[in-house]
Amino acid sequence: MVVVFYLLIWGLAQPEALNSVAIPAADIQNGKQPNIVLILTDDQRWDTLWAMPTLQAELAKPGITFTNGFVVNSLCCPSRASILTGQYSHSTDVYRNEFPHGAFEAFNDKSTVATWLQEVGYKTSFIGKYLNHYEGPYVPPGWDNWEAFNGLPAYYGYGLAINGEIQNFGREESDYSTDVLANEAVSFITNNEGPIFLVYAPYVGGG
C-alpha cells in the first residue's frame, strides 16, 4: 500500500491532509503500515496543473482532491513547519520566511512527523528544499536519509547537504536538480522494503 500526497505550497498547504488517511490499528499490529510519499512543490498555483498531464492521470484522477483547502499562514516556511508538525504558527513560532519568527532558525525540529514515524519502524527520507536559510551539513532528527538544498535552491549551480556532507553541482545537463533529486527519490524507494516515509520537494522557481 502506498499513500501519495501532492501539496502545492502557496496558500493551499493543508497539514490536516496528513491526518486524513487513517491507518487501521490492525494493520499496524500486523506490520502492514503503508508507504507514504509526500510530493511537495513550492510557489505553484493550483491552476498550473493543466501543464502536468502525467500528474493528473497518475495521481489526481485516481486520488482524492480537497476542494476546500485552508491554511492559516500562506507562506512557504510556516506551511512547511505545519506540515512537519501538524501545528499552527502560534505553536511552531514560524510565522514568516525570515528570522526572527521564521525560516529554519526559528523552527524546532526535535519532534516532527519524521521522528514519530521513525520511532514506529519507518525508514525516512527528505529530498529537496527544506526551510529557508537551511545550511548543512546539519541533519535534523528523524531522517534516515537526508538530501536537502544547502542554502538557496536552484536548477543549476547549487549544493546539497547529503547525510552530513556537502556536495556541489555545476551547470551540466546532468546537474539539473529536478532530475538529480528525482533519481535519489526513486533510489530510496527501490532500495528500501518499507515501510517508508519520503518527502520529495523539488525546486520549482519559488522563494
Please report, for residues 2, 15, 34, 114, 187, the alpha-carbon distance to residue 21 in angstroms, rounded to integers and kept in the order given: 11, 12, 10, 16, 25
For the record, the C-alpha cell of 91 comes out as 505553536
Q: Residue 7's beta-bridge partner residues?
A: 40
| Per-residue CA distances from 162 to 51, 104, 144, 177 (Å) | 31, 17, 11, 14
Residue-by-residue DSSP string for 63-117: S---SS---SS-SHHHHHHHHHHS--HHHH---BSSSSSBHHHH---SSSHHHHH
Report the length, in residues, of the chain. 207
Q: 76 catalytic, yes or no?
A: yes
CA 41 from centre of chain: 8
Residue tagged active-site, from 8, 13, 36, 76: 76
- Catalytic positions: 76
